[in-house]
Structure 1
Amino acid sequence: MAHAVRFYETGGPDVLTWEKATVGDPGPGEVRIRHSAVGLNFADTYFRSGLYPVRLPDGIGVEAAGVVEAVGEGVTQVAEGDRVTYTGSPLGAYSTERVMPASHLIKLPDGIGCETAAAMTMRGLTSAYLLRRIHPLKAGDTVLLHAAAGGVGLIVSQWAKLLGIRVIGTVSSEEKAELARAHGCEHVIHYRREGVAERVRELTDGAGVPVVFDSVGKDTFAGSLASLKRRGLLVCFGTASGPVPPINAMQLAVNGSLFVTRPALADYIADPAERDALAGELFGHVASGRIKIEINQRYSLENAAQAHRDLEAGRTTGSSVFTL
């Protein structure tokens, strides 16, 4: 019998329920996939809390990896027995198996295991578009990266170092600082005891950085803006502390003609060719060992509520997965 995590109302982690599920045969353009591992992402908490509205009841989770068990009419990009990964809608990855559109699947190369894929598909593709698509960064540039010891942070730090880009990372503890340094951060700022913008100015001889990657949101927004050099770009790609406050356009002008963007991964992988190109680059780095994927927390799907509590409390580092 298949099982899935669902929620019938928005709220805290306790709204998540573990229940039996009926999984039918795939229709045209669909596949049935049996999951081997499921990714835990901060975005999952946005759907659960209601920050990202969905029609209820619904499943939860946007990332998993596993094996194709059946294909529907018209499916040609994957076949039964293929190992695949995916990230994105529709919700429902927190499940042992499911039926879903085949167009969302990415075939896994032999060198990438399903658990590794579930830990990195969303984080890795996010890192890929941040570094390879959103701004023309070049060797010698310096960037500020918030949550440097998180899942995206550890991948971005390693990838940036491969590209010759210096990373100044922010962390909340010495344990996380050591982890960030070990994965390529050249400088680490303890944001609970140091002024982020002031320290960034010190490290850049007063100039500031051309790009800030900010997945925290409300609590870091002002400091992120203050860390930018003239005509710098603030990339707000997450809201772990709450939504980004309203932006005053004149504030951007008087602080150096700054730019702000709020990108979504979906818009950088909507084109299958671009998605496959980014995935290919990511998989190549991981399979070769140039980028290591740190899975530091493992949970059972039955314990999804506890996984969400740990994630929201900042008790996790690197990537987290549900094992099946």
Structure 2
Amino acid sequence: MTNQINGKQTAADIVASVKTSASHLLASNGLMTGLAVVIVGDDPASHTYIGAKGRVAKECGFQSIQHTLPEATDQETLEHLIRQLNEDTTVHGILVQLPLPMHLDSDRVIQLIDPDKDADGLHILNAGKLAIGDLKSGLLPCTPAGAMVLIRQIHGADLSGKTAVVVGRSNLFGKPMGQMLLYANAIVTMAHSRTSDLSSICATADILTVAVGQPEMVRATWVKPGATVIDVGINRVSAPERGANGSRLVGDVAFDEVARVAGSITPVPGGIGPMTIAMLMANTITAACRVAGVEGQLSDSTS
């Protein structure tokens, strides 16, 4: 019987560990961990995500600071705010909610963040450290780091002999996911939506991760019996049974049918989403502990 992976519970366990570390850091060093989040515009989904992150940050005992900027904010104003946050010693983690409005250069903004405060793990310096196998001194991108925690719960720390297929090649997930799996000794195949005979390649995977933004693309026939399936997709689709304008969230994997084949699978929602937020908190406490010169790097479980 397929095991539905409980991302909510694992995320709650990580958050509890972060809370303990933050409390210890405050008691022993007088340092309150600070997380600053920046959101530009009125996108409802982005505000929902930011709200959830802010609530978890407060649960962790962080000082949670939110900067909400109007849609018309120009590049110079946004960059000035990032520079201020870089210099603010009470801020240990900085998160800019993506996507930004179209008139803003997202990459310039991300690369302006102090890499030591890069809570999302997206700065080119952190990406470069991951690329050369340094999983200790940088900050890891949150979603693949969270996926690795779930994978290791099932398969252990050493993935030697396991075949992993990563569907998706984004800088946010696909590329770093492949690197993390490789460093855990898995045999890794990188694929994407334009890969020829994608279904056959997916069917070779002991561990299948999917992040392509195509609702329920992966079907049961694509999945090796007993495989671990990590679904990173989150797509809103029409659900007429919920009324005239009804909708529901689905992943990139057809959950109901794949669950009958897979050994373990993440649901959507409730799988990777909570893990991403938990790893954001883990990155922030790691950054704060480094400032204080103490142990407390919770992201070690991904390396």
Instruction: Using CA pairs under 8 Å that are at least 6 residues apart, name the structure with larger relative contact order, 1 or 2.
Output: 2
**Fold shared per TM-score above 0.5:** no
TM-score norm. by structure 1 comes to 0.42
Larger fraction in helix: 2
Larger fraction in strand: 1
